Structure 1
Amino acid sequence: MLSRASRRLLLESQWPAHFPPPFLLPLRTRAYLTTISHHVEPDNVPEPLISSAQHVTSNKATNPQKPQPATSMPQLPHQTTAPPSSPLPSSSEPARRKAPSAPTAHATPLALSENLRIMLPLLKAQQPHYMTIHIHGKSYLITQGDTIRLPFLMPDVNPGDVLRLDCASIIGSRDFTLKAGSAVRLEEKRKKKLAYLDDRLFVCRAIIMSVETEPLRIIEKKKQRNRHMRHIKSKHRYTCLRISEIRLKSLEELE
Protein backbone atom coordinates (compact mmCIF):
# COMPACT_ATOMS: atom_id res chain seq x y z
CA MET A 1 0.00 0.00 0.00
CA LEU A 2 1.30 3.43 -0.94
CA SER A 3 1.36 6.16 1.56
CA ARG A 4 -0.70 9.34 1.18
CA ALA A 5 2.30 11.49 0.19
CA SER A 6 3.53 9.05 -2.48
CA ARG A 7 -0.01 8.80 -3.88
CA ARG A 8 -0.18 12.60 -4.18
CA LEU A 9 3.19 12.75 -5.98
CA LEU A 10 2.04 10.08 -8.41
CA LEU A 11 -1.13 11.99 -9.28
CA GLU A 12 0.73 15.28 -9.75
CA SER A 13 3.15 13.62 -12.14
CA GLN A 14 0.30 12.23 -14.30
CA TRP A 15 -1.76 15.50 -14.56
CA PRO A 16 -0.41 19.01 -15.35
CA ALA A 17 -0.33 21.69 -12.72
CA HIS A 18 -3.20 23.73 -14.23
CA PHE A 19 -5.60 20.74 -14.19
CA PRO A 20 -6.95 19.54 -10.87
CA PRO A 21 -6.99 15.82 -10.21
CA PRO A 22 -9.90 14.01 -11.89
CA PHE A 23 -11.54 12.89 -8.66
CA LEU A 24 -12.12 16.57 -7.78
CA LEU A 25 -13.85 17.37 -11.12
CA PRO A 26 -17.54 16.70 -11.92
CA LEU A 27 -18.52 13.78 -14.11
CA ARG A 28 -19.21 15.93 -17.22
CA THR A 29 -15.74 17.48 -17.10
CA ARG A 30 -14.10 14.09 -16.77
CA ALA A 31 -15.71 13.01 -20.05
CA TYR A 32 -14.15 15.97 -21.89
CA LEU A 33 -10.72 15.31 -20.45
CA THR A 34 -10.56 11.77 -21.79
CA THR A 35 -8.88 12.21 -25.18
CA ILE A 36 -7.33 9.66 -27.50
CA SER A 37 -4.52 10.65 -29.86
CA HIS A 38 -3.93 8.80 -33.13
CA HIS A 39 -0.59 9.06 -34.83
CA VAL A 40 -0.22 7.85 -38.39
CA GLU A 41 3.22 7.33 -39.81
CA PRO A 42 3.75 8.40 -43.44
CA ASP A 43 5.29 5.04 -44.30
CA ASN A 44 2.01 3.23 -43.56
CA VAL A 45 -0.15 5.50 -45.81
CA PRO A 46 -0.78 3.93 -49.26
CA GLU A 47 0.48 5.76 -52.35
CA PRO A 48 -2.97 6.14 -54.11
CA LEU A 49 -4.27 8.25 -51.22
CA ILE A 50 -1.22 10.51 -51.27
CA SER A 51 -1.40 11.00 -55.06
CA SER A 52 -5.15 11.75 -54.97
CA ALA A 53 -4.68 14.41 -52.28
CA GLN A 54 -1.92 16.09 -54.29
CA HIS A 55 -4.15 16.05 -57.40
CA VAL A 56 -7.04 17.75 -55.61
CA THR A 57 -4.88 20.51 -54.16
CA SER A 58 -3.25 21.20 -57.53
CA ASN A 59 -6.64 21.51 -59.25
CA LYS A 60 -7.85 24.01 -56.61
CA ALA A 61 -4.75 26.14 -57.07
CA THR A 62 -4.95 26.23 -60.89
CA ASN A 63 -8.73 26.51 -61.34
CA PRO A 64 -10.25 28.68 -58.63
CA GLN A 65 -14.03 28.55 -58.52
CA LYS A 66 -15.80 31.64 -59.85
CA PRO A 67 -18.91 32.86 -58.06
CA GLN A 68 -22.01 31.91 -60.02
CA PRO A 69 -24.44 34.73 -60.77
CA ALA A 70 -27.70 34.58 -58.90
CA THR A 71 -30.46 33.25 -61.09
CA SER A 72 -33.63 35.30 -61.10
CA MET A 73 -36.94 33.59 -60.54
CA PRO A 74 -39.04 33.35 -63.73
CA GLN A 75 -42.05 35.62 -63.70
CA LEU A 76 -45.39 33.90 -63.85
CA PRO A 77 -47.56 34.74 -66.86
CA HIS A 78 -50.54 35.93 -64.81
CA GLN A 79 -48.47 38.37 -62.75
CA THR A 80 -48.34 41.92 -64.09
CA THR A 81 -46.31 44.79 -62.76
CA ALA A 82 -48.47 47.63 -61.47
CA PRO A 83 -47.72 51.12 -62.83
CA PRO A 84 -46.16 53.55 -60.38
CA SER A 85 -48.81 55.42 -58.50
CA SER A 86 -48.86 59.19 -58.65
CA PRO A 87 -47.49 60.88 -55.52
CA LEU A 88 -50.04 62.27 -53.11
CA PRO A 89 -50.11 66.05 -52.70
CA SER A 90 -48.32 67.17 -49.58
CA SER A 91 -50.08 69.23 -46.96
CA SER A 92 -47.42 71.96 -47.25
CA GLU A 93 -48.55 72.88 -50.78
CA PRO A 94 -51.00 75.79 -50.80
CA ALA A 95 -54.55 74.85 -51.63
CA ARG A 96 -55.50 75.98 -55.12
CA ARG A 97 -58.56 78.17 -55.29
CA LYS A 98 -61.32 76.86 -57.49
CA ALA A 99 -62.13 78.85 -60.59
CA PRO A 100 -65.57 80.53 -60.57
CA SER A 101 -68.16 78.47 -62.34
CA ALA A 102 -69.85 79.88 -65.41
CA PRO A 103 -73.52 80.84 -65.15
CA THR A 104 -75.93 78.08 -66.00
CA ALA A 105 -77.12 78.10 -69.60
CA HIS A 106 -80.89 78.16 -70.05
CA ALA A 107 -82.40 75.78 -72.55
CA THR A 108 -85.40 77.98 -73.37
CA PRO A 109 -84.98 81.56 -74.62
CA LEU A 110 -86.24 84.43 -72.47
CA ALA A 111 -89.80 85.39 -73.35
CA LEU A 112 -90.58 89.09 -72.75
CA SER A 113 -94.14 90.34 -72.69
CA GLU A 114 -95.20 93.54 -74.43
CA ASN A 115 -95.71 95.35 -71.12
CA LEU A 116 -92.22 94.33 -69.95
CA ARG A 117 -90.67 95.57 -73.18
CA ILE A 118 -92.21 98.99 -72.58
CA MET A 119 -91.50 99.35 -68.84
CA LEU A 120 -88.04 97.76 -68.66
CA PRO A 121 -86.20 100.67 -70.39
CA LEU A 122 -87.94 103.14 -68.06
CA LEU A 123 -86.90 101.15 -65.00
CA LYS A 124 -83.31 100.90 -66.27
CA ALA A 125 -83.09 104.66 -66.91
CA GLN A 126 -84.27 105.66 -63.43
CA GLN A 127 -81.45 105.05 -60.96
CA PRO A 128 -80.48 104.14 -58.27
CA HIS A 129 -82.02 100.67 -58.06
CA TYR A 130 -82.83 98.57 -55.05
CA MET A 131 -83.25 94.79 -54.87
CA THR A 132 -84.58 92.15 -52.55
CA ILE A 133 -82.14 89.25 -52.73
CA HIS A 134 -82.27 85.88 -51.00
CA ILE A 135 -79.20 84.14 -49.57
CA HIS A 136 -79.73 80.73 -48.01
CA GLY A 137 -83.44 81.38 -47.62
CA LYS A 138 -83.07 84.81 -45.94
CA SER A 139 -84.16 88.02 -47.69
CA TYR A 140 -82.09 91.25 -47.75
CA LEU A 141 -83.09 94.66 -49.10
CA ILE A 142 -79.95 96.11 -50.70
CA THR A 143 -78.63 98.92 -52.87
CA GLN A 144 -75.25 99.30 -54.53
CA GLY A 145 -72.47 99.88 -51.96
CA ASP A 146 -74.30 98.32 -48.99
CA THR A 147 -72.46 96.05 -46.57
CA ILE A 148 -74.22 92.94 -45.29
CA ARG A 149 -73.20 90.83 -42.33
CA LEU A 150 -74.66 87.39 -42.84
CA PRO A 151 -75.91 85.63 -39.68
CA PHE A 152 -73.72 82.61 -40.48
CA LEU A 153 -70.28 81.69 -41.78
CA MET A 154 -70.47 81.07 -45.52
CA PRO A 155 -68.46 77.95 -46.41
CA ASP A 156 -65.77 77.68 -49.11
CA VAL A 157 -65.23 81.43 -49.55
CA ASN A 158 -62.26 83.68 -48.79
CA PRO A 159 -61.91 87.47 -48.50
CA GLY A 160 -61.69 88.94 -51.99
CA ASP A 161 -63.92 86.40 -53.72
CA VAL A 162 -66.65 87.75 -56.01
CA LEU A 163 -70.12 86.21 -55.75
CA ARG A 164 -72.90 86.48 -58.29
CA LEU A 165 -76.26 86.70 -56.54
CA ASP A 166 -78.96 85.31 -58.80
CA CYS A 167 -81.91 84.90 -56.40
CA ALA A 168 -83.92 88.13 -56.39
CA SER A 169 -87.64 88.66 -56.02
CA ILE A 170 -87.94 92.46 -56.43
CA ILE A 171 -86.05 95.06 -58.48
CA GLY A 172 -87.23 98.66 -58.25
CA SER A 173 -86.47 102.34 -58.39
CA ARG A 174 -88.31 105.44 -57.15
CA ASP A 175 -91.31 105.12 -59.50
CA PHE A 176 -91.11 101.59 -60.97
CA THR A 177 -91.00 98.11 -59.45
CA LEU A 178 -90.46 94.74 -61.09
CA LYS A 179 -91.76 91.82 -59.05
CA ALA A 180 -91.60 88.08 -59.50
CA GLY A 181 -94.68 85.95 -60.06
CA SER A 182 -96.86 84.58 -57.32
CA ALA A 183 -95.47 81.95 -54.99
CA VAL A 184 -96.06 78.30 -55.80
CA ARG A 185 -97.73 76.28 -53.05
CA LEU A 186 -96.24 72.88 -52.35
CA GLU A 187 -98.91 70.40 -51.28
CA GLU A 188 -96.44 67.86 -49.88
CA LYS A 189 -94.76 70.13 -47.35
CA ARG A 190 -97.61 72.69 -47.18
CA LYS A 191 -95.17 75.50 -47.79
CA LYS A 192 -94.87 78.26 -50.34
CA LYS A 193 -91.91 78.13 -52.66
CA LEU A 194 -90.66 81.63 -53.40
CA ALA A 195 -90.72 82.73 -57.01
CA TYR A 196 -87.57 84.48 -58.23
CA LEU A 197 -86.95 86.75 -61.18
CA ASP A 198 -85.10 85.33 -64.15
CA ASP A 199 -81.38 85.83 -63.50
CA ARG A 200 -80.90 86.91 -67.13
CA LEU A 201 -82.69 90.20 -66.42
CA PHE A 202 -80.16 91.64 -63.97
CA VAL A 203 -76.58 91.43 -62.70
CA CYS A 204 -75.84 91.56 -58.97
CA ARG A 205 -72.35 90.94 -57.62
CA ALA A 206 -70.93 91.02 -54.09
CA ILE A 207 -67.37 90.92 -52.75
CA ILE A 208 -66.43 88.99 -49.61
CA MET A 209 -64.91 91.58 -47.28
CA SER A 210 -63.99 89.75 -44.07
CA VAL A 211 -65.04 87.26 -41.43
CA GLU A 212 -66.09 88.79 -38.11
CA THR A 213 -66.08 87.03 -34.76
CA GLU A 214 -68.44 87.98 -31.99
CA PRO A 215 -67.30 88.33 -28.36
CA LEU A 216 -67.26 85.23 -26.21
CA ARG A 217 -70.65 84.62 -24.66
CA ILE A 218 -71.24 82.40 -21.64
CA ILE A 219 -74.75 81.10 -21.16
CA GLU A 220 -75.80 79.62 -17.83
CA LYS A 221 -78.37 76.86 -17.92
CA LYS A 222 -79.97 75.27 -14.88
CA LYS A 223 -82.74 72.73 -14.50
CA GLN A 224 -85.45 72.96 -11.88
CA ARG A 225 -84.74 71.28 -8.55
CA ASN A 226 -81.14 70.76 -9.61
CA ARG A 227 -78.17 72.59 -8.15
CA HIS A 228 -75.90 71.88 -11.09
CA MET A 229 -75.30 74.92 -13.32
CA ARG A 230 -74.07 74.39 -16.88
CA HIS A 231 -71.91 77.04 -18.56
CA ILE A 232 -72.11 77.02 -22.36
CA LYS A 233 -69.55 79.05 -24.31
CA SER A 234 -70.31 80.35 -27.80
CA LYS A 235 -68.22 82.45 -30.17
CA HIS A 236 -69.80 82.54 -33.62
CA ARG A 237 -68.28 83.82 -36.85
CA TYR A 238 -70.07 85.80 -39.55
CA THR A 239 -69.27 86.53 -43.19
CA CYS A 240 -69.34 90.18 -44.30
CA LEU A 241 -69.86 91.10 -47.96
CA ARG A 242 -70.32 94.33 -49.90
CA ILE A 243 -72.64 94.82 -52.89
CA SER A 244 -70.36 95.95 -55.69
CA GLU A 245 -72.69 96.00 -58.70
CA ILE A 246 -76.43 96.21 -59.37
CA ARG A 247 -77.30 96.52 -63.04
CA LEU A 248 -80.42 95.93 -65.08
CA LYS A 249 -79.85 94.59 -68.60
CA SER A 250 -81.17 96.33 -71.67
CA LEU A 251 -83.42 94.88 -74.34
CA GLU A 252 -80.49 94.51 -76.73
CA GLU A 253 -78.61 92.31 -74.25
CA LEU A 254 -81.67 90.19 -73.56
CA GLU A 255 -82.42 89.60 -77.22
Structure 2
Amino acid sequence: MFRTSITRTLKPFTNPVLSNLIRCQSTLNSTIASNTTQPTLINQNSNNNQSISQNITNSITTLKLSSNGSRDLYAIFRLYNMPYLVTKGDKIYLPFKLKNVKIGDILKLNDVITLGSTSYTFNDKKGIDPSLFELQASVVEITREPLYHVIRKKQRCRRTKTFNVEPFQTVLMINELKLK
Protein backbone atom coordinates (compact mmCIF):
# COMPACT_ATOMS: atom_id res chain seq x y z
CA MET A 1 0.00 0.00 0.00
CA PHE A 2 1.24 3.49 -0.83
CA ARG A 3 0.51 6.58 1.18
CA THR A 4 0.20 9.75 -0.80
CA SER A 5 1.02 13.25 0.33
CA ILE A 6 0.78 16.32 -1.85
CA THR A 7 3.33 19.06 -1.29
CA ARG A 8 1.26 21.79 -2.95
CA THR A 9 -1.46 23.75 -1.18
CA LEU A 10 -4.58 24.45 -3.18
CA LYS A 11 -6.25 27.84 -2.90
CA PRO A 12 -10.05 27.75 -3.07
CA PHE A 13 -11.63 29.73 -5.91
CA THR A 14 -13.98 32.39 -4.60
CA ASN A 15 -16.11 34.67 -6.67
CA PRO A 16 -18.10 37.26 -4.64
CA VAL A 17 -20.76 37.72 -7.35
CA LEU A 18 -21.53 34.01 -7.58
CA SER A 19 -21.52 33.57 -3.79
CA ASN A 20 -24.07 36.42 -3.53
CA LEU A 21 -26.21 34.67 -6.16
CA ILE A 22 -26.07 31.43 -4.18
CA ARG A 23 -27.00 33.28 -0.96
CA CYS A 24 -29.92 35.00 -2.73
CA GLN A 25 -30.99 31.68 -4.21
CA SER A 26 -31.12 29.97 -0.82
CA THR A 27 -33.18 32.78 0.73
CA LEU A 28 -35.50 32.88 -2.27
CA ASN A 29 -36.01 29.13 -2.23
CA SER A 30 -37.09 29.28 1.40
CA THR A 31 -39.52 32.17 0.76
CA ILE A 32 -40.93 30.58 -2.40
CA ALA A 33 -41.39 27.25 -0.63
CA SER A 34 -43.27 28.93 2.24
CA ASN A 35 -45.53 30.97 -0.07
CA THR A 36 -46.49 28.31 -2.60
CA THR A 37 -48.97 25.49 -2.24
CA GLN A 38 -48.66 22.05 -3.78
CA PRO A 39 -51.06 21.30 -6.65
CA THR A 40 -53.53 18.50 -6.05
CA LEU A 41 -52.78 15.30 -7.91
CA ILE A 42 -55.42 13.83 -10.20
CA ASN A 43 -55.59 10.07 -10.76
CA GLN A 44 -55.82 10.37 -14.54
CA ASN A 45 -52.37 10.41 -16.14
CA SER A 46 -53.27 12.71 -19.04
CA ASN A 47 -54.64 15.44 -16.77
CA ASN A 48 -51.66 15.04 -14.47
CA ASN A 49 -49.19 15.41 -17.36
CA GLN A 50 -51.06 18.48 -18.64
CA SER A 51 -51.01 20.13 -15.22
CA ILE A 52 -47.28 19.42 -14.79
CA SER A 53 -46.42 20.81 -18.24
CA GLN A 54 -48.61 23.85 -17.56
CA ASN A 55 -46.78 24.47 -14.23
CA ILE A 56 -43.42 24.19 -16.01
CA THR A 57 -44.41 26.66 -18.74
CA ASN A 58 -45.75 29.08 -16.10
CA SER A 59 -42.46 28.78 -14.21
CA ILE A 60 -40.38 29.37 -17.34
CA THR A 61 -42.42 32.42 -18.40
CA THR A 62 -41.98 33.88 -14.91
CA LEU A 63 -38.26 33.22 -15.15
CA LYS A 64 -38.11 34.85 -18.60
CA LEU A 65 -39.78 37.98 -17.28
CA SER A 66 -37.58 38.18 -14.18
CA SER A 67 -34.25 37.49 -15.93
CA ASN A 68 -34.06 40.96 -17.53
CA GLY A 69 -33.48 39.70 -21.08
CA SER A 70 -31.10 36.89 -20.02
CA ARG A 71 -28.61 39.35 -18.53
CA ASP A 72 -29.19 38.20 -14.95
CA LEU A 73 -29.66 34.54 -15.87
CA TYR A 74 -27.51 31.80 -14.34
CA ALA A 75 -27.48 28.01 -14.64
CA ILE A 76 -26.10 25.08 -12.70
CA PHE A 77 -25.12 22.25 -15.00
CA ARG A 78 -23.48 18.90 -14.34
CA LEU A 79 -20.46 17.56 -16.17
CA TYR A 80 -19.53 14.03 -15.05
CA ASN A 81 -21.83 14.59 -12.02
CA MET A 82 -19.88 17.66 -10.86
CA PRO A 83 -22.06 20.79 -10.63
CA TYR A 84 -20.85 24.11 -12.09
CA LEU A 85 -22.62 27.45 -11.56
CA VAL A 86 -22.21 29.67 -14.63
CA THR A 87 -23.44 32.86 -16.26
CA LYS A 88 -22.83 34.10 -19.77
CA GLY A 89 -19.16 34.90 -20.38
CA ASP A 90 -17.78 32.74 -17.53
CA LYS A 91 -14.67 30.59 -17.88
CA ILE A 92 -14.73 27.09 -16.41
CA TYR A 93 -11.50 25.31 -15.57
CA LEU A 94 -12.07 21.55 -15.74
CA PRO A 95 -9.46 19.47 -13.89
CA PHE A 96 -9.22 16.94 -16.72
CA LYS A 97 -8.83 16.71 -20.47
CA LEU A 98 -12.04 16.23 -22.45
CA LYS A 99 -11.70 13.47 -25.02
CA ASN A 100 -12.24 14.11 -28.75
CA VAL A 101 -12.34 17.89 -28.25
CA LYS A 102 -10.20 20.48 -30.00
CA ILE A 103 -9.71 24.19 -29.35
CA GLY A 104 -12.57 26.16 -30.86
CA ASP A 105 -15.15 23.36 -30.62
CA ILE A 106 -18.62 24.40 -29.45
CA LEU A 107 -20.27 22.14 -26.87
CA LYS A 108 -23.98 22.01 -26.06
CA LEU A 109 -24.41 21.52 -22.33
CA ASN A 110 -27.80 19.97 -21.70
CA ASP A 111 -27.58 18.44 -18.20
CA VAL A 112 -28.85 21.54 -16.40
CA ILE A 113 -30.42 21.13 -12.95
CA THR A 114 -31.09 24.80 -12.10
CA LEU A 115 -31.98 27.90 -14.07
CA GLY A 116 -32.44 31.17 -12.25
CA SER A 117 -32.20 34.90 -12.01
CA THR A 118 -31.76 37.26 -9.08
CA SER A 119 -35.40 36.92 -8.04
CA TYR A 120 -36.55 33.51 -9.29
CA THR A 121 -35.13 29.97 -9.50
CA PHE A 122 -36.30 26.88 -11.41
CA ASN A 123 -34.90 23.57 -10.05
CA ASP A 124 -35.24 19.99 -11.19
CA LYS A 125 -32.86 17.36 -9.77
CA LYS A 126 -33.49 14.98 -12.67
CA GLY A 127 -32.57 17.66 -15.20
CA ILE A 128 -34.44 20.41 -17.01
CA ASP A 129 -35.77 19.65 -20.48
CA PRO A 130 -33.21 20.94 -23.06
CA SER A 131 -36.00 22.34 -25.24
CA LEU A 132 -36.57 25.09 -22.63
CA PHE A 133 -33.08 26.64 -22.67
CA GLU A 134 -29.87 26.95 -24.69
CA LEU A 135 -26.47 26.64 -23.01
CA GLN A 136 -23.36 26.58 -25.22
CA ALA A 137 -19.69 26.63 -24.33
CA SER A 138 -16.59 26.77 -26.50
CA VAL A 139 -13.23 25.18 -25.75
CA VAL A 140 -10.77 28.01 -25.18
CA GLU A 141 -7.63 26.06 -24.30
CA ILE A 142 -6.31 22.68 -23.24
CA THR A 143 -3.37 23.15 -20.91
CA ARG A 144 -1.63 21.61 -17.92
CA GLU A 145 -1.65 22.56 -14.27
CA PRO A 146 1.56 23.77 -12.65
CA LEU A 147 4.03 21.04 -11.78
CA TYR A 148 3.87 19.59 -8.28
CA HIS A 149 5.41 16.57 -6.57
CA VAL A 150 3.66 13.58 -5.02
CA ILE A 151 5.66 11.63 -2.46
CA ARG A 152 4.74 7.98 -1.96
CA LYS A 153 6.04 5.76 0.82
CA LYS A 154 5.32 2.20 1.87
CA GLN A 155 4.50 1.49 5.46
CA ARG A 156 7.50 0.70 7.73
CA CYS A 157 9.95 1.47 4.95
CA ARG A 158 12.14 4.57 4.83
CA ARG A 159 12.40 4.70 1.08
CA THR A 160 10.20 7.31 -0.62
CA LYS A 161 9.32 7.68 -4.26
CA THR A 162 8.76 11.13 -5.73
CA PHE A 163 6.59 11.59 -8.79
CA ASN A 164 6.26 14.73 -10.86
CA VAL A 165 2.60 15.39 -11.60
CA GLU A 166 1.36 17.86 -14.21
CA PRO A 167 -2.32 17.02 -14.93
CA PHE A 168 -4.34 18.39 -17.84
CA GLN A 169 -6.89 21.18 -17.66
CA THR A 170 -9.60 22.09 -20.13
CA VAL A 171 -10.87 25.67 -20.18
CA LEU A 172 -14.43 26.30 -21.39
CA MET A 173 -16.09 29.66 -21.98
CA ILE A 174 -19.87 30.04 -21.82
CA ASN A 175 -20.96 31.63 -25.11
CA GLU A 176 -24.70 31.46 -24.83
CA LEU A 177 -27.19 31.10 -21.99
CA LYS A 178 -30.78 31.92 -22.83
CA LEU A 179 -34.32 30.66 -22.44
CA LYS A 180 -36.27 29.62 -25.51
Short-chain TM bin: 0.5 to 0.7
Equivalent residue number for residue 124 of structure 1 = 64
Tell me how far apart the structure 1 counterparts of residues 131 and 179 of structure 2 sit (CA, whole Å): 9
Tell me how far apart the structure 2 counterparts of residues 139 and 118 of structure 1 sit (CA, whole Å): 26
Counterpart among 228, 233, 246 of residue 159 in structure 2:
228
Partner amino acid, structure 1, of 2:78:
H
Tell me how far apart the structure 1 counterparts of residues 146 and 118 of structure 2 sit (CA, whole Å): 40
CA deviations over 1:28-58 (Å, ceiling 9, x no partner): xxxxxxxxxxxxxxxxxxxxxxxxxxxxxxx
Secondary structure at 2:130's aligned position in 1? coil
Equivalent residue number for residue 24 of structure 2 = none
CA deviations over 1:159-200 (Å, ceiling 9, x no partner): 1000000000110112221111xxxxxxxxxxxxx5111111
Equivalent residue number for residue 87 of structure 1 = none
Secondary structure at 1:156's aligned position in 2? coil
Q: Given the superposition, is the C-alpha separation of residues 224 and 122 from structure 1 closer, same or farther in structure 2, using an over 3 Å criterion?
A: closer
Report percent identity of matched pairs.
31
Question: Deviating runs (4+, > 6 A) in structure 1?
Answer: none
The structure with more radius of gyration:
1
- TM-score computed with the length of structure 2 as normaliser: 0.65
Partner amino acid, structure 1, of 2:58:
I
Counterpart among 122, 134, 137 of residue 206 in structure 1:
137
Pairwise mapping of residues 63-78 of structure 1 onto structure 2 (< 5 A)?
none
Equivalent residue number for residue 83 of structure 2 = 139
Counterpart among 128, 132, 135 of residue 197 in structure 1:
128
Q: Given the superposition, is the C-alpha separation of residues 144 and 228 from structure 1 closer, same or farther in structure 2, using an over 3 Å criterion?
A: same
Q: Given the superposition, is the C-alpha separation of residues 228 and 244 from structure 1 closer, same or farther in structure 2, using an over 3 Å criterion?
A: same
Secondary structure at 2:131's aligned position in 1? coil
Deviation of 1:119 (Å):
3.3
Equivalent residue number for residue 151 of structure 1 = 95
RMSD, aligned α-carbons: 1.8
Structure 1: where are the runs of 5+ without partners? 1-109, 181-193, 250-255
Deviation of 1:115 (Å):
2.8
- TM-score computed with the length of structure 1 as normaliser: 0.47
Secondary structure at 1:210's aligned position in 2? strand
Using CA pairs under 8 Å that are at least 6 residues apart, name the structure with larger relative contact order, 1 or 2.
2
Q: Given the superposition, is the C-alpha separation of residues 225 and 115 from structure 1 closer, same or farther in structure 2, using an over 3 Å criterion?
A: closer
Secondary structure at 1:245's aligned position in 2? strand
Equivalent residue number for residue 9 of structure 1 = none
Equivalent residue number for residue 247 of structure 1 = 178
Counterpart among 215, 220, 237 of residue 146 in structure 2:
215
Pairwise mapping of residues 26-175 of structure 1 onto structure 2 (< 5 A)?
113-127=53-67, 128-175=72-119
Tell me how far apart the structure 2 counterparts of residues 148 and 196 of structure 1 sit (CA, whole Å): 20
